[in-house]
């Protein structure tokens, strides 16, 4: 992984309380898994930033190396890797995602 890509990812996850690496954009997700995570975050009223890995092949591979997680989407909260679609969905259903966000001071809609 190029140092520039690793630095970009580090800057993204440090500068944004909630950062989502996804395929597509929040308005036009390009895969069902990315759409599902967007749906969860939107439902919870969580402010987040995103990066479209389809626009940048280096970022697409770099994020996988950075997290040592083979798939996209990838969700980070306060610089901490949370997981992909399945993990985020399970955490949402169990109430763990709301707890994690609140513990990190991220506003969540009641």
CATH number at residue 34: 3.40.30.10
Q: State which residues form the domain around 77.
A: 3-87
In a domain, 24, yes or no: yes
In a domain, 108, yes or no: no
In a domain, 109, yes or no: no
pLDDT for the residue 2: 74
In a domain, 7, yes or no: yes
User: What phi and psi values does residue 84 have, to the nearest 5 degrees?
Assistant: -100, -165
In a domain, 110, yes or no: no
Look at the block and give the residue holding tokens 């092949």: 57
The edge-to-edge listing of strands for the beta sheet with 49-52 is 49-52, 18-22, 74-77, 80-83
Domains of the chain: total: 1
pLDDT for the residue 1: 60
In a domain, 16, yes or no: yes
In a domain, 99, yes or no: no
Q: What is the pTM of this model?
A: 0.95
Question: CB neighbours of 79 closer than 8 A, spacing ≥ 6?
Answer: 13, 14
In a domain, 47, yes or no: yes
pLDDT for the residue 30: 97
- Among 51, 78, 31, 96, which Cα is nearest to 87's? 96
Per-residue pLDDT of the chain (110 residues; tens, 9 = 90+): 679 999 999 999 999 999 999 999 999 999 999 999 999 999 999 999 999 999 999 999 999 999 999 999 999 999 999 999 999 999 999 999 999 999 999 999 96
Report the C-alpha dihedral over residues 55, 62, 67, 86, rounded to 10 degrees: 30
């Amino acid at each position: 992984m190029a140092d520039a890509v690793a630095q970009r990812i580090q800057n993204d996850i440090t500068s944004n309380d909630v950062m989502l690496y996804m395929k597509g954009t929040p308005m036009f997700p390009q895969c069902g898994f990315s759409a599902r995570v967007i749906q969860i975050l939107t439902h919870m009223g969580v402010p987040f930033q995103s990066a479209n890995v389809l626009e940048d092949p280096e970022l697409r591979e770099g994020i996988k190396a950075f997290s040592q997680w083979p798939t996209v989407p990838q969700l980070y909260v306060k610089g901490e890797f949370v997981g992909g679609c399945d993990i985020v969905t399970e955490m949402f259903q169990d109430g763990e995602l709301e707890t994690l966000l609140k513990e990190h001071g991220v506003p969540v809609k009641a």
